[in-house]
Amino acid sequence: MRLLQLALFGGIVGCVAPLMAQVDPLLAGTPRPVSCADVPPNPTPAEATCYRTTPTYDETMAYLRKVAAGAPKQVKIEGFGKTGEGRELDVVVVSKDGVFDPDALHRAKRPIVLVQNSIHAGEMDGKDACLALLRDMVVTKSKAGLLDRAVFVFIPIYNADGHERRSAYNRINQVGPEEMGWRGNGTNLNLNRDYLKADTPEARAFLAMFHHWLPDFFVDDHVTDGADFQYDVTFNMDDGPNVPVATAAWVDKVATPALEQYVNAHGHLVAPTYINFLNDTNPAEGLACNEDPPRFSTGYMILENRPGMLVELHMLKDYRTRVTGNYEILAGLMELVNKDADKLIALNAAADTEATQLGALKGAYPLELRCSGQTTPFLFHGYKYKRSLSEVSGGIRVNYSHEPVDMTLPLQMGYKITAEATLPVAYIIPAQWVKVIDVLTAHQVAIERTTAPWTAELESYQCSGMTWQDPPFEGRHPTFNGEAWRGPGKFGTCALVKETRTYPAGSAVVRLNQRLSKVAVAWLEPSAPDSAMQWGFFDSIFEQKEYGEAYVVERLAREMMAKDPQLQAEFEKRIATDPVFAANPASRLEFFYERSPWYKANRVGQYPVGRVGTADWLPLSHLAR
């Protein structure tokens, strides 16, 4: 079959030579050869094999225990939970002077950096980078200055069960090491979709650990999928309208340029954005912006009022290049946090204060963001490529060369708000919705409980038009498209209504005057992208439990039309204009049942969470913490 050759954008002609140096090792599950001439003293397990392998869970922890034993006044290993398969989850705390108590560190205004590694356990580069950085902080002392004021806390292996599901064939897109872990945890759930709904034991353990340490800056280390390009390090920090203005300004004007300059000056090429093409089969269309809902780690950091950074090493670079690139961006971050410690701590304190004032916020609060469509020119360091019609897939194939080329691409910038809400003073959740309340408890959101039944007129939502995703996404069937290829799923609409309701004793009251107000809003506002509603925690409210038998509704329909000529006209018009409806006897009878008091008693689509408008409606004498 003759391939249809397509021209490159901008008149660039790409190299058609196959990428055998990259493709053959990739398909074989082995990395490209790396010279072992410069293995450093006191090598990490990865360095000792010249980055041919990455250590197992047991080998990783043995190395960490050895370093901690040699530097007990600077290194402490703390367990913070168990995986589903029973492996211990640990953080490693590195402090210059043996102060390992987070409260003492916060009082001393010493910023805490928390780095998470191996959440996708095939992407373990950050783990090996942290082992090397730890060694250089406390053994060789070449990076001891990074602990002058800041404290380095890292999770070596978050997805420990997935980490031990090792294979040469777990990541077809990635070059090296010889074996790598698996993306999902022991129950095949993606932990980087679980931050808000907290279905997994790992997520529950993380939340407790995070609030114990309450870090000033968070990093999540990953390796890319996607396209080929020159950069070996890319990173992204959220700066949208859901981030406090002062924090977003620091991210854009201070942190991003400082890290870009540091990494480039230390032998790597960095892109200060996550490389995500609008169209994978045509890079010329440009780069998308990155909006992070709170199912992701960095999106969740927005709810915690903390800056977070996503690091993505380039999958097609050899393992040594990736690990050392990860090392340099972490070293650059620690240098920045030491230098800007007072500013960072002040920004976080201001963000916490802002969150305590959400219940008094005037105007709408943004729940969901999308790229605005506006673009800015971005000098992209890529490779020449060719596009052709594939005789294998029948679609467009992109064949990258390794001939560098610089090109200017449109980069999407800015956001538009696609869902928003005016916020109440508090939410009240009926006591029977135990799983919904349990998630808020796991997040350590402050909750009060009513001690007696409480009746009041208040706002809530009436919801309709939902469809659920099929096949499952993260073990659920949400009302959103979890990934682009998984659909359909449609949220529908939730309209505000005001009505009198009674809430039983033990109902949960969540006030928006606390540091974690944003967590409560993201979980309880139904149109928020990772709300309890969207993830299916309230699916049963859409189930109709009582029905009318046909012979009963036949009589009811005639009575209703006799009393209401306008209803009869509406029914007849529907028959005349909707042949599917006209041909379905059940639908014709349901038309009348849905307009009767009996249907209303079903409460189909009635959102059970109430929005409390004034604090006076909930006297403290009726509440118990």
Q: pLDDT digit string (tens) for 268-324?
A: 999 999 999 999 999 999 999 988 999 999 999 999 999 999 999 999 999 999 999
pLDDT number for residue 484 = 55
When computed from its CA atoms, the radius of gyration of the chain, rounded to whole angstroms, is 28
* Average pLDDT of the segment spanning 331-352: 98
How many C-alpha atoms does 49 have within 13 Å on its Cβ side?
Answer: 14
The closest of 243, 306, 355, 335 to 116, measured between CA atoms, is: 306
pLDDT number for residue 615 = 55
Share of the chain above pLDDT 90, in %: 87
As a three-state string, the secondary structure of 194-205 is: CCCCCCCHHHHH
pLDDT number for residue 14 = 29
pLDDT number for residue 226 = 85
Query: Which superfamily, per CATH, for 46-353+365-415?
Result: Zn peptidases (3.40.630.10)
Any alpha helices (H) in 243-317, and if so which ranges? 245-250, 256-265, 297-303
Residue-range domain boundaries for the chain: 46-353+365-415, 421-544+604-624, 550-600
Binning pLDDT at 50, 70 and 90, where does residue 430 land?
A: very high
* Mean pLDDT over each residue of the chain, to the nearest integer: 91
Any alpha helices (H) in 266-340, and if so which ranges? 297-303, 319-339
Widest Cα–Cα separation across the chain: 94
Q: Give CA–CA dist 189/197, Å, rounded.
A: 12
Of residues 561 and 615, more confidently modeled: 561
pLDDT number for residue 507 = 96
Residue with tokens 């006591």: 431
Strands (E), 95-225: 112-116, 151-155, 217-223
Q: Give residues with Cβ within 8 angstroms of 55, minimum separation 6.
A: 44, 45, 46, 63, 128
pLDDT tens for each residue of 487-514: 567 899 999 999 999 999 999 999 999 9
SS3 state of residue 533: helix
For residue 577, CA distances in Å to 210, 581, 589, 611 come to: 58, 9, 17, 40
* Average pLDDT of the segment spanning 162-182: 97
Q: Is the peptide bond before 471 cis (omega within 30 degrees of 0)?
A: yes
In single-letter form, the type of residue at position 591 comes to F
pLDDT number for residue 23 = 34
Any alpha helices (H) in 266-417, and if so which ranges? 297-303, 319-339, 341-355
In the numeric block, which tokens belong to residue 576? 């005349």
Q: Give CA–CA dist 369/195, Å, rounded.
A: 18
Identify the burial level of 490 via C-beta atoms within 10 angstroms of its C-beta, where 0-12 means exposed, 13-18 middle and 19 or more buried. middle
pLDDT number for residue 490 = 87
The answer to whether residues 115 and 221 touch, using CB atoms and an 8 Å cutoff, is yes
pLDDT tens for each residue of 1-56: 333 222 222 222 223 222 223 333 333 333 344 457 778 889 999 999 999 999 99
The DSSP element (H or E) to which 70 belongs, if any, is helix 57-70
pLDDT tens for each residue of 106-126: 999 999 999 999 999 999 999
pLDDT tens for each residue of 542-568: 999 998 999 999 999 999 999 999 999
Cβ-based neighbour number of residue 123 at 10 Å: 26
Any alpha helices (H) in 340-370, and if so which ranges? 341-355
Of residues 599 and 375, more confidently modeled: 375
Is 0.85 topped by the overall pTM?
yes
- 74, pLDDT greater than 50: yes
